[in-house]
Structure 1
Amino acid sequence: MAWKKLLYLAQPYPDNYTDPCFLSQIKRNTTVAKYSYWHLVDHFSLIVLHLATIVLVELTFIGIYDRGWDPVVPVVIAAAGVLVGMVAWDRVTGQQTASFAQNSPKPKVDQWTTLRSALVVVLIVLVLSPVLKSLTRSTSSDSIWALSLILCLFNMLCHDYAMDPHSAPYRPILSTNLSLSNALVLASRLSSSLHVFCFVVFAAVINILVPLYDVGIRRRNPASPLHNIVLFVFCSAVFVATTYLFGPGLVLVWLVTMAGIALMLPAYFLWVQQYKNELQGPWDPAKPIIHRQD
């Protein structure tokens, strides 16, 4: 009687018997996905962009708080970027075609709805600016800087970096709350309500709208170079702001760090893949194959 891997059959073999053919069906690394280097570089650039947005907000605060920058200038630049981004979004996602624009005014209605919602948020921030200015009046500045650093670190760790278009929707709830909390904490150290209002609006655009915009472009049209343009713009902005505030020394540190994340980590990931050793044999639970008939 040939041995069978069926425990409910009475077979003339001892309980610890192992048949020579038991391991004939063993499989190695059947679920390992193969990646290309540049595909991984594109995905790791999400980390670079998120770090760039966080650093840019911090640099802008330093410029306003310590160097006397005009707070209106960053807001104007951010507002212009939002308008340009809306136009580019329509072009890339194919929402504004000639025939559709003539037959249906829906895209314009959606844009106006979004604009009205944004204006409501801006007005709320404007009304609350005097309150936010005195939010941490009894707290020392050293405590505020330490709290801001902790919020930024947790923001980096808790952000949603997933890029699978078939996965769950992109909902960076925790990192968004951390970004907003950091902006409010820093804004409370500024000298006037105008400074608070401008900085909070600028931080909301950079830390909240930009990640949503970038992920939306990547998921809707991965072949579009627009997300690379967004990455280049923000890395360049950090480069210029760091050079103006601290000189070329920290710029070199920034460039080396971002190059390491975008170029070295994908190479390290591919190198580590060769050591993956996943075995799947007849002892693993079977996966049922269900044929759905819709």
Structure 2
Amino acid sequence: MDTHFSADSSLSTSRWRKVAYGGMQPGYDDNHTDETFLEDMVMNANVVKRNMLKVMQDSVSISQYLCIAALVVLVWIYTLRSTLNENSLLLLDVSLLGSGFIILVLTEEMLSLERLLNYVLNVSFFTTGLFVLALIYQTLTRSISSDSIWAVTISLLLLHLFLHDYSGSTIRPSGALKNPNLTSCISLNASIVASVFIASRLPSRVHVFATMLFSLQIFLFAPLVTYCIKKYSFRLHLLFSLGLMAVTLTFVYSLHCLLSVFRLPAFGGNIHIRICPTKMPDVK
């Protein structure tokens, strides 16, 4: 009798444990909990405290690349309107290529002669292949309407901007901590296809080659150059971004299609933007 009573008391005084699939514990109800039930719960374990200054500094890269993409679209529109001819585009391509190499030489600390020659060789092969394919690109979308081309191009550019890696470069520079990820590669491919669609509406092979070379220089090599500038000096990166923003707003204003008035009140008012609707260039 005493033995049976001691066994029952030991079962009733056994410590309750948290078990997921242990069934009902003797001496406790099925929904019983005690003070140890939530002792291991961790709240807000993955919350990252943001520094306002750091967020503002990181947003400079986003604004910078948005200006770069806007300049590409402006060059496309000027080319389709025959404002820029093939000679001007080729001169622009050579200027951008030369200035890009100069910036790489001045900013990359670990840039060796072998790596520089590798850059030059790759650009030479890239330019030669692009000139050979320009004839194919010229007739690629001949049977597609211009409205469809503009719709697909705008969609691809939005996809490019949404997936673009604003903290790095699609081409892995020396000293980079990580390789380009999948989303940045998809973003680059979307920009290349958009460039092909626009270039296919141009009248001559030289036009197509010059436009494609310009677009690929911007979408492929501009992130590498801006990454090297930012790594070299943040102050230089900030000045370059401000200059790029000023140039972009100037060309947008002169185009009179995206932005007509951009007025910033003197003392903390709202930004007033007036959009002027204009007809997109009719490309045949």
TM range (shorter): 0.7 to 0.9
Q: Secondary structure at the match of 1:252?
A: strand
> Which consecutive residues of structure 1, in runs of 5 or more, have no partner in the other structure?
97-106, 254-259, 261-294
Q: Secondary structure at the match of 2:140?
A: coil
CA distance in 1, matches of 2:114, 2:80: 39
Find the structure with the greater CA-based Rg: 2
**Residue in structure 2 matched with residue 57 of structure 1 by the alignment:** 72
Residue of structure 1 aligned with 2:132, choices 127, 133, 142: 127
CA distance in 1, matches of 2:105, 2:242: 18
Superposed displacement of residue 108, structure 1: 0.7
Residue of structure 1 aligned with 2:252, choices 218, 221, 242: 242
**Residue in structure 1 matched with residue 148 of structure 2 by the alignment:** 143
Superposed displacement of residue 3, structure 1: 3.0
**Residue in structure 1 matched with residue 92 of structure 2 by the alignment:** 74
**Residue in structure 1 matched with residue 17 of structure 2 by the alignment:** 4
Q: Is the 8 A contact 1:242 1:251 kept in 2?
A: no
Residue of structure 2 aligned with 1:110, choices 108, 115, 118: 115
**Residue in structure 2 matched with residue 183 of structure 1 by the alignment:** 195
CA distance in 2, matches of 1:196, 1:230: 29
Equivalences, count: 238
Q: Is the 8 A contact 2:64 2:244 kept in 1?
A: yes
CA distance in 1, matches of 2:93, 2:261: 24
> Which whole-Å deviations, capped at 9, do the CAs of 1:241-264 have from their partners, x for residues lacking one?
2122127934639xxxxxx9xxxx
Q: What are the equivalent positions in structure 2 for 1:1-294 lying under 5 Å apart?
A: 1=13, 2-6=15-19, 12-69=27-84, 70-90=88-108, 94-95=109-110, 107-161=112-166, 169-171=179-181, 172-215=184-227, 221=231, 224-246=234-256, 249-250=259-260, 252=262
- Assess, with a 3 A threshold, how the Cα gap between structure 1 residues 72 and 166 changes in structure 2: closer, same or farther: closer
> Which consecutive residues of structure 2, in runs of 5 or more, have no partner in the other structure?
1-12, 169-174, 264-269, 271-284
**TM-score, normalising length from structure 2?**
0.72
Q: Secondary structure at the match of 1:35?
A: coil
What is the letter of the counterpart of residue 109 of structure 1?
Answer: E
Q: Is the 8 A contact 1:75 1:201 kept in 2?
A: yes
Identify, as 1 or 2, the structure richer in helix.
1
- Assess, with a 3 A threshold, how the Cα gap between structure 1 residues 208 and 55 changes in structure 2: closer, same or farther: same
Q: Is the 8 A contact 1:239 1:251 kept in 2?
A: no
